[in-house]
Chain A
Amino acid sequence: MKKGVVLDYLILTTASIFFLVFLRSFQGERFASFLVLLMFVSFYIIWGIFHHMKQRNIHIKNVIEYILIGFCILILLTVVFSF
């Protein structure tokens, strides 16, 4: 795996850890938790776009895939993260 790719995954993993840390600090606060989730999903989509741009294989199919997965999870989780 290339150095740049490893760095990208490291950034995504770090963001995931931050997501869990923030979620834990806002435990019980549904609106704040939902905002944290929203930010993480947005980050994941942006990360996907930037990662593929860096890899020079950006394509509308990639972008749509990240958006579909991100939004699907976000919408499903609004059922439990109701505020």
Chain B
Amino acid sequence: MKKLFSYFFVPGEKNGFRAKALQHDFLTYYLLFALIVVFTTRTFGTRFENVLGFATDITVEKLVEYTNSQRQKNGLPPLSLNEKLSQAARKKAEDMFVKNYWAHYTPDGQAPWDFILSSDYDYEYAGENLAKNFLFSSNVVDAWIASETHRQNILRSEYTDVGFAVVNGVLNGEETTLVVQMFGKPQNFILSQKEPAIAQSKKPVPPRSQISKKRGVVLANTSALKTNFIYLFLLFLTILVVLDLYVATKMNLIRIHGKSFAHFIFLTAIFFGLFLFLSKGIIL
């Protein structure tokens, strides 16, 4: 067992002073494996879209939990998850996919509160936050909290209800997960209709004039499962390279191979790059 481990992972006489797992044949297997992963992801992503759609790590429950946690931190009462507001949020998300835009107002001029009213939620106060390209629920809420206008929406004392929609689809030719958060306070005795609050991004993305008919729920590629797998693979390669570098330096080996130190720098940059890429999406 120990010999087998050494043969595959530690440079030595038997493997030509290069860990077998870092030799060309194995590197080719990794490449083929990567191609299979990409191919199956794309195939399964479209065939079993509704099943795999759950693989994304953004859930309504967690979004409610993190939103209310932020409110409680600021001494505000928690918001109740309202089915009508969630329905309005779903309608808005689906509308964005169908009409291919990313904005608070639809290309034909519909406002967020039009979706709220069409879901039979007669509001006194209403608001909307949007997010896309995020992987985790906590990152979505953290990004909103970091933006002053979105934060004001989350921490507005007038709101009593919240609704969420997490919908996967293709927007502007990019597979993405849209998160729509809608706030509200139902109309009771006060008849005057207040102006709804919409969080404005510092860099608003203009709506696309071209309307695409492409729609539907597909697998968000940034699922936690796949990301964890890629992180593990990167870690595996990095450990192999570090081990190779350590043994080669210790034994003062001169070999015709790529430089392990260069591979280490490259893999470390990719590791941090992946972390950066996944840690933030876009809010509006």
The chain A residues found within 8 Å of chain B, CB to CB, are 9, 12-13, 16, 19-20, 23-24, 27-31, 33, 37, 40, 44, 47-48, 51-52, 57, 59, 61-62, 64-66, 68-73, 75-83
B146 at the A interface (CB under 8 A)? no
B211 at the A interface (CB under 8 A)? no
Query: A12 CA to B263 CA in the complex, in Å?
Result: 10
B274 at the A interface (CB under 8 A)? yes
Subset of 23 A-B contacts with CB under 8 Å: A9-B261, A13-B265, A16-B265, A16-B268, A19-B273, A20-B272, A37-B273, A44-B262, A48-B262, A52-B258, A59-B256, A62-B258, A65-B257, A68-B27, A68-B30, A69-B27, A69-B266, A71-B34, A72-B30, A73-B266, A75-B38, A78-B38, A79-B41
Q: Is the CB of A23 within 8 A of B27?
A: no
Residues of B near A83 (CB, < 8 A) are 173-175
Query: A9 CA to B279 CA in the complex, in Å?
Result: 28
The chain B residues found within 8 Å of chain A, CB to CB, are 24, 27-28, 30-31, 34-35, 37-38, 41, 132-133, 173-176, 221-222, 226-227, 230, 233-234, 237, 256-259, 261-263, 265-270, 272-274, 276-282
